[in-house]
Structure formats: structure tokens, C-alpha cells
Structure 1
């Protein structure tokens, strides 16, 4: 395995970056109306301090993000705060669409789909979307398989009718310019997975076997499937996983803490599971927008702008917080309410594609954007 792999985790709902990676010593944060959401600096629930500070404001990971803080301390995880859409919107649908398209409305496809179309990676499984549907970021990337588990991509076997149907699909669509290649890819992938994942003794599908204990939950299951695909060596270059539930308008404290814990434990388990393959993999964690500085009257937070991104990889310069921290003083806030965005999220994606994914020309991926290097990689 030599080709680099990119895994994109999208936290849908607008994760509260000010609570996930908190400037806990910022006097304006302390003065804001979110006492139950403040990351503590002392006591049993104290957050995990970042060893490298972008500013002297005592940045800390949420107290349920122990695994993420350990990856940061091991120089494997980098944080980019105050990042996001520079043409922001507080609509989930619009923000997700803009971020996953990563270009103007006239540009076809999503940013990952355009990368796949431009690079045309070889292999039986160049891309995988784990879950019920492929995200908009993969639109335009050809026939991207969608599955909860790798063995779900095996077409029914063990019956003559299944073989006949498969052959009829190949024969019927062989000459179609659009559907033909995708049907051929699907049948070839199914055959390959049948050889690798069907037990020769029992004839049953064999699930993924690993010594790593993943937590129970949706993101853990998705990352477990991605680890399986990577280690099965199917030529995968891009994988996506969605983790929803971050739209915390009401009683945020407990729900958010549970989400953070699952995110942290799932990413940590996935990274440990990769073992020596880590050097070929980069993980980007992002969300469509952040939350407002001031809490609402329901114990939650409403839609904001600036947020935190995370990049995990075997070849990044981790253990650092990148980007310019604008502060939370009223005059520094966007419209007097939100963390201002000082890093266009496409700068992060561009550097990952250029440095890790070895893409020399990004004009086809981000046609209306000129990236500025951030120093994510050595």
C-alpha cells in the first residue's frame, strides 16, 4: 500500500467549536452567557490543555475529548480554529451545500467528486461513502459505493439466479457510456470481495476482525468499516463518514459531551487500528458552521459562523494550533455575535490535497480559489 488516503468526517448540525476546543481563559468567553458550557480549568472536569497555544488564552479540549488531546500531544493532530465559510450562512442546508461544493454555484460537483474525476484513481474501490447515502462532496466522482459495512457490497451469491442476474446486468449495460462502466465496477468489486470476505469453509460473509475495541455508535461503526476497507487493500483513496446530532439548541451540555466522547473515542480507535498504515492516511474533521458566542435561554447555542477544524495524519506537523485567533471581544466578533472566520476552510483542504494526496494542480478542484499555505505539513 503506497497511495495516500483521505478520510473526511463531517459533523452535521453545526458543532460548537468554542466548546470542543475552548479558549477557556478568554475573558470574553468567561463573561458570555454559557456557564454550563464553559470548559473548566480546574477540578475533575477540567479540559485538556493544548501544549501549543495560538494565543495566551489557555485553549483546552473538552473534558470528554481525552483521546483527541492525546493525539494532539503526540504531534499527530493539528487544530485550525476560527475556520469556515467566508460567505457564511446560518442555514444548515445552504452551509453544507456551499462547503461540500467548495466553489461557486456554477461549478459542477463536489470538491471530492471533482478530485476523483480529475485524478481517475485506479483500483476496485477508489472511493467509499459509509452510511445511507453519498454526501454532496462526492457528487461528480463517478459511481461511489455506499455501504454501512464492506461485506454489504457483495452481491447475493450461492444461487444460480443471482449469477444469471449479474450476467444480465453486465450484458445489458455493457455498451452504455454512463452506466456500463459503473455496473462493471460494481460486479468486479463484488467478485473481489466475495473472494476475500466469504469464508471458504462456511460460505458465509466474514465481518471485520480487529483487536481494537471500538465504542458503540454510528461514527465508530463507520470508521471501523473504513479501516476494514483500507486494510483489505482495495485501492481506496477517499472515504467519507457523517456524524450528525450537533444542532444543540436545547440543553446542550449533556448531549454535546456525549457526542464529543463518541467522536474522540471513535477517532482514537480508528487511528490505533490502522497501525503502520497511519503514514498513508490523513483525516479531516469539519462541520458546516459553529455556534454563537452567547448561549440562549434554553441552555443551548444557536447557529454561528467560525469553528474549529482538526487534521490527523502520520505526515502532518501535529501538536499545534494553526490560523489567526481573532479573539472574542465584541468588536472582533462577526456581526457582534459570532467567532469571526480568519481561515477559509478551503486552505486546509487545499494543503491536504496538495501535500498529502500529491495533487499538483488544484484549479480543477477549487477553480475560483487561490490557496495560501498554512504549514500543516513538514
Structure 2
């Protein structure tokens, strides 16, 4: 994430979480989608597959490995809403214009749209006969391993009033004051108090900080259990400083241990240092309430285990992909194999061959997103 964008318009990513914490630029779900590939010229003949894509076929037939269980979904048919969102997006693009335009592969928006329509049509049959995939699609592998990270939907317990431990505000955008105050001034000097801007009061300052990192999430009110989405509502425009990088540079823990969990553990073990490290990042996020979930940069809600945030200059929104890689284990250390169909529907800090898998809400999603940073094999599905 840079200082003028929101995190996952989405929500966000671990490498994106790590990128944010380390102070790198970009994070999933930016407010303004990154420029896509050119839309105005007609597609040129497809050159031989070199560069972006490899000619090598999957080493093991994907139609024998991929299953709803390997994707952690109930059935292939459960992918229908996510596929429909990509179909609607690609239908708005000029059919003859180039969608994918990289060395070795060209695909028009019309071809991408038809790929999705065909995939959607055969979804109900795939649970019975996965071999249909090879009948309709060719698998175009990327020529190098994909960096696979994850992001999630945080949920925070809040109160409607400040009392007891519920003293950490989650603020609406203060308008003209938005660009004036730093995190230190807002959180520790009460720069915005008394203006009626609080959506709620949390008891966990670290959770609030990670809500800022994710850019949106869900608030659950302790009074009655009701919930509301807190969506990105702007920021204070101050320069972003990666807290994780600051902590590594000061010897809090080695860089290879970096994760959300490691940051939290250190701060909980050293509460007297919490203010110092959290306020080392002066950038501050404001929120707005919503009864509808946040959307990805494609302009539609993202789907757990089916949506990925991408660099849209590498693969465009809507692209149908297959990904094979490991997710961190939960609750134990043994990794979980993830092999499934995903669609490019969000963006953020990704650059090039980096996919950020949306993991959804809950403790497992938070755990995996906090640790997830590995390599995977990825394929673009294209009609035969």
C-alpha cells in the first residue's frame, strides 16, 4: 500500500501485510485500480509461447489432483458466484481489445469472456467428471514459480461507548482535519476526540492497527452482537513507515521470523514499547460503516478460496487461473495443500508473478494470512 491508497478495496495480503509492515509500496485492494493492459488495439497473432508462459505441461494431470476438497470448497458449483462476477466484468470490455499482452501469450477480452462463460457452463458437471477440463481448456503455465500470499477479513470486538478496556477508537473521516494529525496525535493525544467521529471503541490496539493494515473489516458490538463492516474511508496522507521493518532494524526479532503473529507477540510481551512502535508509522486510516461487504479492485465482492489479488499489468482482472501451492497449517504446523481454480479480482502490492489469495473471515484465515508467503505453480486456463 502506498500512502494515498486503501488496502485490500479489498481487504489485504500477507506479503502485502508484510510489505506494509516492512514499508514496501502497494497492498491488495487499492482505492484506484492499477492501469490494466491496453484496451484500444486489436489482438495481434499469438506468437510462440515464450517469456511469460512456458511450453511445459503440468507434471501431473490437474484433472486428477484438483477437487473441491483440494480448494476447501463444498463443490465446484460453489464457484458460480465468483465466476459470474468475472463474466460480468469481462462483458463490459471491448471484445476485440487485448486483455493479456505479454511476451508469448495474447488473449482478447472476448476470448477471456468466452473462457469464463464455458467454465461457468460446465461447473455443475465438474464434480462428476473433472476430465471435462481437458476437453475444453488448455493449461498455460507461467514460466516461473508464483509468489503466493494471503489476505483475510479481520473482525474486531468493539463497544458503542468508551468504557473499561474499550478505549481505542475507530474513526470516521474527519474531513478537513484528515490531513492534519499523525497517528501519535490521534491515538495518544486525542486530536479527534469529542467530535462524534467514533464508529466504535476497541480494547485491542494491535487489532486496530492490523485493521488499518487490512484497510477494511468487520466490527462486532459487544452490547448486542450486531455487526457492521468498516470500509476504507480515507487516510491522513502522512508518509507510511513499515513498523515491521523498524522492529527488525532495532533487533526485536530477525527478519526471517516476520509475521503478523510475531509482531503481535513481541508487542504483547513488551507493552511498554507498543506506543513507540505503533506510532513509528504516522499514517492513519479512517473508516465508514456499511451493511455490505467490501469489494475488490474489480468492483465486486471477493470470494474465499476463489479470488486472488494480482498485478493487473501481469494478468488482467477476471482471468481464470489454477493454482497449486501450500497454505500454512492450522492449528498445527503441517502445511495444507491448496489446488484450485481462482479468478483475478483484486489488486494491491503485488508486482509481477505474485498472487494474493483471499482466505475469508475467521481465526484460521487470520492465522494463515499472517504466515503465508511461499511459491506455487500457476496456470492460465484458455479455451481450446
TM-score, with length taken from structure 1: 0.23
* Between structures 1 and 2, the one with greater helix share: 1
Query: When you count strand as a share of all residues, which structure comes out higher?
Result: 2
